Structure 1
């Protein structure tokens, strides 16, 4: 493919190998994906890193209303010229055509609101449980089809965690089918579906690098239609708690690290339960509010009295 304004941000080898990348994308397990090193033109990748937004500039408030270890920013154009160039490129027909050629998915749509996407930054100790993403655009009747993640971590080792994990079935599998180190200028494109379970393992930085953060840019793409056998009812992001590590079997003597792992898994489960209860309470409060809530109350009251 020829380099055009919309594809000038991509490294030349990406354009030259689109057909071969599509073969990899379709063949890779546990669901269609491809890992492309040196994804962006080198100087452009460096410009994105140099102007990556400060952690406190993004949304770093957790579900509990307190500052957390993750920060996201979806107002891409406000970050600076490099991010304006990124935004101009990824919405261009030529860029969408290249990503379509790599994945075999035609008619891709760019999300101008970057809902759920944009810059992502995670501090030491953070992790992300296995999940499948929301399947429809929150405000449009678009099917979510692809995640494109570009990592911006010049210094990162596999032993530090933070690896993108792809699962076959996290409800059964303690270990992912594939782990991908978030190395600098590494692009990962994967299909979003009802089986695209993904996560990242806990970031465990050595003391001398404790101030490093895991940085990435997440871009999501949609289509107006998708194959009928892939369509599911609209849902939000669906999480599954991690399984116990495979070595924790009968007869194993627990180490301090094992005990810490079990405690962390229990804490994650309890936090998930608390979040579900809070969401349930919020929904009930919204249901009870206003005229509709009052009418529903009267209907329930009549039903209960009628049953007597």
Structure 2
């Protein structure tokens, strides 16, 4: 099955659930707009995608106070099915339908997979509360939607590794989206879309396929440029202070060096192997 056929399956699932997804996104967009849909692809195909994931030692480990996870974007190093699935979510039909669900215009997928691609989180790994980088790799377009497709079979909510939205900030109640097998979660990204991934407390791996959509326009008029901005979880006060200082430092550097001091390696360089 090629990426066009996979895209058709994704499109049909979204179309079948369109009315419900429009309502879910509309009800939540006053804070952090989001929706999720289950059984995105046939179960056998979703299992095949999970099996195609590389071993963690063949991925890049990102480990710091900010996060602890394995990632990969150089997709021609891996099973071609993974690349086909990633780009199925970039099919023009899928992009247009997601745009309609979220009532957005002029939305573009990212062929370079800047901060996208695949990720794996194992026991004790996590992603602290943060705002995604506001722009694409060239700072030409605004990042507006985050698409997360989960493919670990039998992954229970109690295992951790779930998407957490903080619509009222770290002092408010979080919204938890279970990283359930064969589920697609889509969330808005803007100056207030604070989100995280809960620590994994199970001896297994949570596998995810990620895409970002961009636009010529910010979601909110008040949105401003920002680097990926991390915070500590509410119970980790010292980590929170350290991460706020870290964000201030990196923001200062980006004011001087528009694209950073060094090139972000998390992109798909299609001419390389």
Structure 1 length as normaliser, TM-score? 0.71
How many Å separate the matches in 2 of 1:274 and 1:54?
Answer: 34
1:109 aligns with 2:108: yes
CA distance in 1, matches of 2:139, 2:248: 28
Following superposition, the deviation at residue 267 of structure 1 comes to 6.3
CA distance in structure 2 between the aligned counterparts of 1:238 and 1:277, rounded to whole angstroms: 9
Q: What's the CA shift string for 1:61-97, capped at 9, x where partnerless? A: 5359xxx951100123432231232244233321211
More helix, by proportion: 1
Within-5 A mapping of 1:245-260: none
CA contact (8 A) 1:131 1:199 kept: yes
Distance 1:281 1:7 in 2: 41
> Measured at CA, do residues 15 and 106 of structure 1 come closer, stay the same or move farther in structure 2, by a change above 3 Å?
same
Deviation at 1:112, TM superposition (A): 1.3
User: Match for residue 98 of structure 2?
Assistant: 99
Moved more, 196-205 or 26-35: 26-35
**What secondary structure sits across from 1:219 in the alignment?**
strand
Looking at structure 1, the residues matched to 169 and 218 of structure 2 have their Cα atoms a distance apart, in angstroms, of 25
Structure 2 contact 10–89 (Cα < 8 Å) conserved: no
Change (3 A) 1:169 1:137: same
Give the aligned partner of residue 235 of structure 1: 226
Q: Secondary structure at the match of 1:97?
A: helix
2:183 maps to 1:191: no
2:213 to 195, 206, 221: 221
When the two chains are superposed, the root-mean-square deviation of aligned CA atoms in Å is 2.9
- Secondary structure of 2:10's match? coil
Q: Which residue is equivalent to 1:21?
A: 21
- Check the 8 A contact 1:11/1:40 in 2, yes or no: no
CA contact (8 A) 2:75 2:82 kept: yes
CA distance in 1, matches of 2:102, 2:119: 24
Q: Secondary structure at the match of 1:202?
A: coil
Question: Equivalences for 1:222-301 in 2 at 5 Å?
Answer: 222-226=214-218, 229-244=220-235, 265=236, 268-269=239-240, 272=243, 275=246
> Given the two structures, how large is their TM-score scaled by the length of structure 2?
0.80
Q: Is the 8 A contact 1:76 1:87 kept in 2?
A: no
Q: Residues 231-276 of structure 1, C-alpha deviation per residue, up to 9 Å, x if partnerless?
A: 43311011222223xxxxxxxxxxxxxxxxxxxx256347637856
Q: Could you list the runs of 4 or more consecutive aligned residues of structure 1 that deviate by over 4 angstroms after TM superposition?
A: 273-283
Cα distance, 1:268–1:93 mapped onto 2, change above 3 Å? same
Q: Which protein has greater RCO, CA pairs closer than 8 Å, 6+ apart? A: 2
Q: Distance in 2 between matches of 1:51 and 1:273?
A: 37
User: Any conservation in 2 of the 1:130–1:170 contact (CA below 8 Å)?
Assistant: no
Find the structure with the greater CA-based Rg.
1
